[in-house]
C-alpha cells in the first residue's frame, strides 16, 4: 500500500494537466480558424536544469507520503540531452539535507543520476508529459555510497523558445535499507539554442485561370499568336508563349531577338551560333638524331653519386630533406642536364630499427622526396624512377650505431636505356 498514494498522485498529475491544456488549445483554435496558434514542439536542443527539490525519506515507511511538513528541502542542477523526438537523456545532480527514519538529525545527501525521459503522448501544444527512470549514485554524510533507482512522471510546460517550466514527481528505490524516498522537483529548463519558431500558415495555392477577354474591352493581339500585345515582347511577329511571344526560327531554344544566328541552330554558350569547324594542322616533328653515348659513366660522376649516398640527410624517422642535402642533389640535377642520355633510378634503404612495414614505407617516402626535389630542379620525371627496399639490403652490420648509419641511405644509379 505504500506506493498507492504516490501512483494515484502521479497519474493525476500526468493525465489531468494535459487534458486541461488540450482544451485550452482547442478553444484557441476554434476561436480563429484563419490564424494559427503558436506551436511549441518538444524541445530538441540541450538544456540546463534548475529545480527546487522536496525530499521525503519517512513517507514510504510511516504510511503518510504526502505530509509535506515532514518533507525536506534541497536543489537540483543538471543537463538535458535530446536523443530524438520521443526520448531525452537527463543527468541531474541533487543535494538535500534530510531527516532519516532512524534518526532525527538532518543528514546531507548528494546524488548523481543518469535518467531517460520518454514522451509517449503529444496531447498539447504547450504541455509535454513524460515518464522517467534511471539509476543513480547516492553519497550519504560524505562517506556512505549506495545506489538508487528513480522512477516517476513529469511534465514540461513551454513558456517561450528558451524557457520550459518543469514538474517531476519520482519514487526512488534505495539499494540500502530504509532509503526509499519520494522526490518532488519544481523549476525550469533553460534551452541552450532556439527551438523552431512558430510555423506560419502557408496561403493556399492560387489557381491559374485562363485569360478571358472582356467583350466590352477586348485585349489586342496584333500578330494572332494568342498572347495579348501588352504581354507580347514581339507584338508584330507570331511567337511562342515560352519566349513571351517571340519566335525561335532555328529551334535551338534561343529566341530570335537574343540569337546572333537566328537561322542556324547553335548552343547558348556561343550565343546561338554553331561552333566553327576546327582544322587540325599537321606539324612535322623534327627528328633529332641521338648523340653517340659512351658505355662507361665517367669517374667524376660516380664520385658524386657515391658522395650523395652519404650526404643526403633526412629528419629523424621522417622523409623530410634537410637543407644540407640540397647541394649534392643540385649536382645530380646538373649531371642529368649535361648528360640527357642517362636515366636515373633512386633507391631508398633503412636500418632494422622498427617494424619492417614502417621501414619499407619510410624508404619509399625518402626515395620519393629525392625524386620530387630533382623534378623541381628541372629533371624530367620521364627520366627518373624511385623504389624503396626498406631494411632488406644492408651494406653494413645493424649491430652498431655506425653500421646502422651506413644502412640508412639513398642510392642514385645512372644507366642508359
DSSP for 277-330 reads PPPPP--PPPPPPPPP--SSPPHHHHHHHHHHHHH--B-TTS-PBPGGGHHHHH
Q: Are residues 313 and 179 in the same domain?
A: no
Confirm whether 98 is domain-assigned: yes
What does the alpha-carbon distance between residue 299 and residue 296 come to, in Å, rounded to a whole number? 9
User: CB within 8 A of 167, min separation 6: which ones?
Assistant: 13, 154, 155, 157, 185, 186
Q: How many CA atoms lie within 13 A of 104 on its CB side?
A: 0
Q: Are residues 15 and 163 in the same domain?
A: yes
**Residue closest to 410 by CA, chosen among 376, 373, 380, 382:** 373
- Within a domain: 256: no
Residues 303 and 187 both lie in one domain: no
49: domain CATH number is 2.40.160.20
Q: Report pLDDT for 174.
A: 93
What is the Cα–Cα distance from 204 to 86, expressed in whole angstroms? 31
Give the pLDDT score at 69: 81
Nearest residue to 360 (alpha-carbon basis) of 387, 386, 384, 395: 387
Query: Residue 259: what pLDDT?
Result: 85
DSSP reduced 3-state for 270: helix
Give the integer Cα–Cα distance in Å for 172 and 151. 6
Check residue 360 and give its pLDDT: 94
Rounded to whole angstroms, the Cα distance separating 199 from 35 reads 11
- Going along 160-309, which residue ranges are E strands? 163-174, 181-191
In a domain, 60, yes or no: yes
Residue 403 lies inside a defined structural domain of this protein: yes
3-class state of residue 59 by DSSP? helix
**Residue 219 located in a structural domain:** no
What's the number of domains the chain is made of?
Answer: 2
Query: Residue 212 falls within a domain, yes or no?
Result: no
Q: What angle do CA 33, 39, 40 make, to 5 degrees?
A: 160
SS3 191: strand
Q: Looking at 129, 161, 191, which one is the last position of a domain?
A: 191
For the chain, the 3-state helix, strand and coil shares in percent, each to the nearest 5, are 25, 30, 45
Low-confidence ranges of the chain (pLDDT < 50): 1-4, 8, 12, 15-40, 196-200, 289-294
Angle (CA) 34-40-41 rounded to 5° is 120
| Residue finishing a domain among 191, 225, 256 | 191
Angle between helix 326-338 and helix 356-376 axes, rounded to 10 deg: 60
Scored b (16 or more CB within 10 A) or e, 151-171 reads ebbbbbbbeebbebebbbbbb
Q: Which residues contact 400 (CB under 8 A, 6 or more apart)?
A: none
Residue 145 grid coordinates? 555510497
Q: Exposed, middle or buried by CB within 10 Å (0-12, 13-18, 19+), for 388?
A: buried
Task: Give the CA distances from residue 84 to residues 42, 44, 45, 118, 153, in Å, rounded to whole numbers and listed in that order.
Answer: 10, 7, 10, 10, 19
Find all residues with CB under 8 Å of 34, minimum gap 6, and list them: none
CA 1 vs CA 8, 178, 392: distances in Å: 11, 16, 81
Helix (H, G, I), strand (E, B) or coil at 110: strand
* Last residue of one domain, picked from the residues 162, 191, 220: 191
- Neighbouring CB atoms inside 10 A of 402's CB total 10
Residue 340: inside a domain, yes or no?
Answer: yes
What range does the domain containing 361 cover? 299-416
2 C-beta neighbours (distance < 10 Å), count: 13
CATH number, domain of 327, equals 3.30.1330.60
Is 263 part of any domain? no
Amino acid at each position: 500500500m505504500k506506493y498507492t498514494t504516490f501512483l494515484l498522485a502521479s497519474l493525476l498529475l500526468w493525465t489531468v494537466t494535459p487534458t486541461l491544456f488540450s482544451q485550452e488549445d482547442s478553444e484557441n483554435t476554434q476561436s480563429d480558424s484563419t490564424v494559427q496558434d503558436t506551436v511549441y514542439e518538444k524541445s530538441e536542443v540541450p538544456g540546463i536544469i534548475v529545480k527546487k527539490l522536496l525530499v521525503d525519506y519517512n513517507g514510504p515507511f510511516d504510511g503518510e507520503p504526502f505530509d509535506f511538513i515532514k518533507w525536506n528541502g534541497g536543489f537540483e542542477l543538471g543537463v538535458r540531452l535530446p536523443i530524438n523526438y520521443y526520448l531525452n537523456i537527463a543527468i541531474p545532480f541533487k543535494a538535500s539535507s534530510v531527516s532519516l527514519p532512524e534518526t532525527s538529525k538532518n543528514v546531507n545527501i548528494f546524488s548523481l543520476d543518469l535518467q531517460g525521459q520518454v514522451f509517449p503522448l503529444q496531447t498539447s501544444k504547450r504541455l509535454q508529459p513524460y515518464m522517467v527512470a534511471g539509476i543513480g549514485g547516492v553519497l550519504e554524510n560524505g562517506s556512505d555510497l549506495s545506489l538508487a533507482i528513480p522512477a516517476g512522471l513529469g511534465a514540461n510546460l513551454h513558456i517561450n523558445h528558451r524557457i520550459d517550466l518543469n514538474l517531476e514527481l519520482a519514487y526512488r528505490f534505495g539499494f540500502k535499507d530504509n532509503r526509499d524516498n519520494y522526490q518532488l522537483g519544481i523549476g525550469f529548463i533553460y534551452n541552450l539554442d532556439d527551438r523552431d519558431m512558430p510555423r506560419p500558415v502557408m496561403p493556399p495555392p492560387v489557381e491559374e485561370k485562363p485569360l478571358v477577354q472582356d467583350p466590352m474591352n477586348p485585349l489586342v493581339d496584333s500578330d494572332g499568336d494568342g498572347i495579348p500585345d501588352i504581354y507580347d515582347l514581339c507584338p508584330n511577329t507570331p511567337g511562342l508563349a515560352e519566349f513571351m511571344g517571340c519566335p525561335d526560327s532555328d529551334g535551338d531554344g534561343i529566341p530570335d531577338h537574343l540569337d546572333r544566328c537566328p537561322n542556324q541552330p547553335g548552343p547558348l554558350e556561343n550565343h546561338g551560333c554553331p561552333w566553327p569547324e576546327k582544322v587540325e594542322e599537321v606539324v612535322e616533328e623534327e627528328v633529332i638524331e641521338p648523340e653517340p653515348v659512351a658505355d662507361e659513366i665517367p669517374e667524376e660522376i660516380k664520385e658524386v653519386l657515391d658522395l650523395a649516398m652519404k650526404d643526403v640527410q633526412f629528419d629523424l624517422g621522417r622523409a623530410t630533406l634537410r637543407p644540407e642535402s640540397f647541394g649534392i642533389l643540385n649536382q645530380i640535377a646538373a649531371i642529368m642536364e649535361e648528360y640527357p642520355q642517362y636515366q636515373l633510378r633512386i633507391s631508398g634503404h633503412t636500418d632494422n630499427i622498427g617494424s619492417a612495414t614502417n621501414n619499407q614505407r619510410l624508404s619509399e617516402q625518402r626515395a620519393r622526396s629525392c625524386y620530387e626535389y630533382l623534378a623541381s630542379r628541372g629533371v624530367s620525371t620521364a627520366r627518373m624512377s624511385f623504389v624503396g627496399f626498406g631494411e632488406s639490403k644492408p651494406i653494413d652490420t645493424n649491430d652498431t650505431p655506425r653500421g646502422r648509419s651506413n644502412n640508412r641511405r639513398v642510392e642514385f644509379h645512372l644507366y642508359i636505356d
